[in-house]
Amino acid sequence: MCAKWQTQLVSKKPGAAVKGYLKQAIIHWDGTAGRSVCRNIIAEEPLSIRIQGNPYSVIMRTPGDEIDHVAGFCLAEGIVDSPADLNAIGFCDGADTNVVTVTLTASRREKIAATLDRRGYISQTSCGICGKEIVRDLQQAISSVPNGPALSTGRILKCIDTLSDHQPLRRQTMASHAAALFNSDFDLLAAAEDVGRHNALDKVIGKLFLAERLAEACLLVLSSRASYELVQKAGRAGIPIVLSVSRPTAIAVALAEQLNMTLACLSHDEGLYIFCGAERLVF
């Protein structure tokens, strides 16, 4: 973690773990009769992100890992390129609020003045923007990922087969998405869960980004489909291989090709569907 702002980092109080779910009394109808039962439901609350004291975005997310979440979000949005761009990041008005504020170094503020004014906010698309324009704009804003090592398809499949082992929130609620990052030796570097797939990815990237270990990540495993926004976030993080449970969208494949990424998903019967970047995989 970057020493110059480490001491300014505010985190949740020790021992104040956020479950991310709550118990709810419901009626279970089993096809014949109804009975009262208690079930766990996943939590969802707004998270307000402020940059330089100004409101920037409000995200609906599952509480927990807020600092990592905001760090990953800022990397994906191009607000920061490295932890050195951060002057401070922490909770506003105490650790129990749903507001996180980010302050940047003077040089970074000057460099991204247009982004802070919300001009050229690439991840927001409007009705008048077509898929080709989105891919072109994102390609200009994101560098192609390095080739990286070739990985065994068999071991990649094991990573997605064991993804549920890293989803304690899903075991309680059956309602969370997950994202997990592995290195070239298939060691788990970090995992995160959230009600939103975008949030889960921001959280897991933010964990490694703040620890300055993002360069170790070679494989991203997603519990969802791969949309172009998720490919965009992975591209900003420099992750070469993305594996999802469900099939990607066409625009996600086009963007992955432009960014020199490997994009694959589980086959409906057995194995993988590989959409681009097959040269990184060893069969």
All structural domains of the chain with their residue ranges: 140-282
- Quick one: pLDDT at residue 22? 83
**89/170 Cα distance (integer angstroms):** 28
Handedness of CA 182, 229, 71, 197 (dihedral sign): negative
- Quick one: pLDDT at residue 159? 94
Instruction: Decide if 172 contacts 40 (C-beta within 8 A).
Output: yes
Q: Which CATH architecture has domain 140-282?
A: 3-Layer(aba) Sandwich (3.40)
- Quick one: pLDDT at residue 234? 96
- The angle at the Cα of 234, spanning 283 to 98, to the nearest 5 degrees, equals 140
**Residues annotated as catalytic (active site), given as ranges:** 127
pTM exceeds 0.85 for this model: no
- Size of the chain in residues: 283
Average pLDDT by stretches of 10, the chain with 283 residues: 31 44 82 81 88 90 94 95 96 80 96 74 40 63 86 92 90 91 97 94 98 97 92 95 92 90 87 91 87
Sheet holding 45-51, edge to edge: 54-61, 45-51, 99-104, 86-91
User: Residue 156 contacts by C-beta under 8 Å, 6 or more apart in sequence?
Assistant: 186, 219, 241, 243, 264, 272, 281
- Quick one: pLDDT at residue 11? 33
